[in-house]
Amino acid sequence: MFDGPATTDPDPAERRARIRLARSPRIGPVKFHEALQHFGSARRACRDLPVAPEGEIAREEQALASLGGRFLVHGDPGYPAALAILPDAPPVLSAIGDAGLLERPILAIVGARDASLAGRRFAAELAATLGLAGFVIASGLARGIDAAAHEASLGTGTVAVLAGGIDQVYPPQNHGLQRAIATRGLLLAETPFGTPPVARSFPRRNRIVSGLSAGVIVVEAAERSGSLITAHRALEQGRDVFVVPGSPMDPRYGGSNALIRDGAILVRDANDIIGVFGKPQSRPQAFEKHVKIPRDSATETVLQALGAVPTAVDELVRRCQVSAATVAEVLLALELEGRLERHRGNCVSLI
């Protein structure tokens, strides 16, 4: 979906210089790339500009490593290609978890923090179905729609972009979810280790969420919301924007409906999105190898609720009284075993 990284793999000295330059005062992403173009390399820029000391970088790298993380530097082979081509691409990302998810097709799901129950359920259904289709789900780990999307895609692949440092937990109620993503998905942060999230950090985070993704799906966005910032950045970045419509009488959908009026793609179910991109051709073998049907009471409940008659995924969640993430994990494992058939309207049946 995207061309490869815009830069070649830097040698160790150049890579280190890029980290120092990126962590320097008054050097943001745009100035970082301008400096590389002007000086020809970060090493030359570091000789002529006041940059972060080596000891500061070493301490951050050690702290990051203590959590099992590492740096992804612009130009690294593992740096996400979709971001690398942007003029304000993050020079450095802290990463904890499975960075291999960045090599798979990614779609973002964003929306209201104070989302309705119906909105959260619909976001979870979209995330679960798109995950089953082979897409990784990206979002910003906020309350509401973001959290629902992450939870539903834990079993198939999810990427959370943080507004603060990668060690910062925000919001506090997502502490458990953040830990789960670090173990089973991928956490990314642009700001240095130990940096608390502040207001100006959230729009910067949003551009990364959209920049990682081939498309952005908006669920419940008011007329003035962070989700609209993400949608507008997505359009600037040349990404597709998909929107779940709502009642014109509901202020939670004021921004959503305005996006549709202005040309965004209306979404009724996941098939409207898959129809644009198609299903990814294949899943990584390592990913398929680790997808097993968990044997617990919740899983057995889901299996018993399935049959030859197509059943809506949201009905499975309601009937079984388990999380959308559990249903998604069971359905994915069944599909990989060739035991599940998918139908229109987000319905599934056993073969």
DSSP state of 340: E
Domain boundary among 263, 285, 307: 285
Measure the CA–CA gap between 209 and 206, rounded to whole angstroms: 5
Q: Give the pLDDT score at 336.
A: 66
Is 161 a residue whose pLDDT tops 90? yes
Average the pLDDT over 227-242 and give the result.
Answer: 94
DSSP state of 100: G
Give this prediction's pTM: 0.80
138 and 260 both lie in a single domain: yes
The CATH code of the domain that includes 195 is 3.40.50.450
Average the pLDDT over 11-40 and give the result.
Answer: 95
Share the mean pLDDT of the chain.
89
Q: Contact at 8 Å (CB) between 190 and 60?
A: no
Average the pLDDT over 63-70 and give the result.
Answer: 96
180 and 302 both lie in a single domain: no
Q: Contact at 8 Å (CB) between 317 and 128?
A: no
Q: Point out the least confidently predicted range of 5-14, 91-100, 130-139, 256-265.
A: 5-14
What is the maximal distance between C-alpha atoms in the chain? 69
Sequence-separated (6 or more) residues with CB below 8 Å from residue 245: 253, 256, 257, 260, 266, 267
Helix (H, G, I), strand (E, B) or coil at 209: helix
CA 74 from centroid of its chain's CA atoms? 18
Per-residue pLDDT band at 20 (split at 50, 70, 90): very high
The CATH code of the domain that includes 341 is 1.10.10.10
Q: Burial of 275 by CB count in 10 Å (0-12 exposed, 13-18 middle, 19+ buried)?
A: exposed
Q: Give the pLDDT score at 7.
A: 45
58 and 138 both lie in a single domain: yes
Measure the CA–CA gap between 144 and 266, rounded to whole angstroms: 21
Q: Contact at 8 Å (CB) between 274 and 130?
A: yes
Average the pLDDT over 102-129 and give the result.
Answer: 94
279 and 255 both lie in a single domain: yes
Q: For Cα atoms 168, 169, 173, give the angle at the middle one, nearest 5 degrees.
A: 170
Q: Give the pLDDT score at 281.
A: 55
Q: What is the pLDDT of residues 246-271, one digit of tens each?
A: 999 889 899 999 999 999 999 999 99
Q: What is the pLDDT of residues 196-207, one digit of tens each?
A: 999 999 999 999
Domain that residue 303 falls in: 291-350
Q: Would 324 be classed as within a structural domain?
A: yes
Domain boundary among 285, 320, 335: 285
43 and 84 both lie in a single domain: yes
Q: Where are the alpha helices (DSSP H) in 91-137?
A: 117-132
Q: Give the pLDDT score at 305.
A: 87
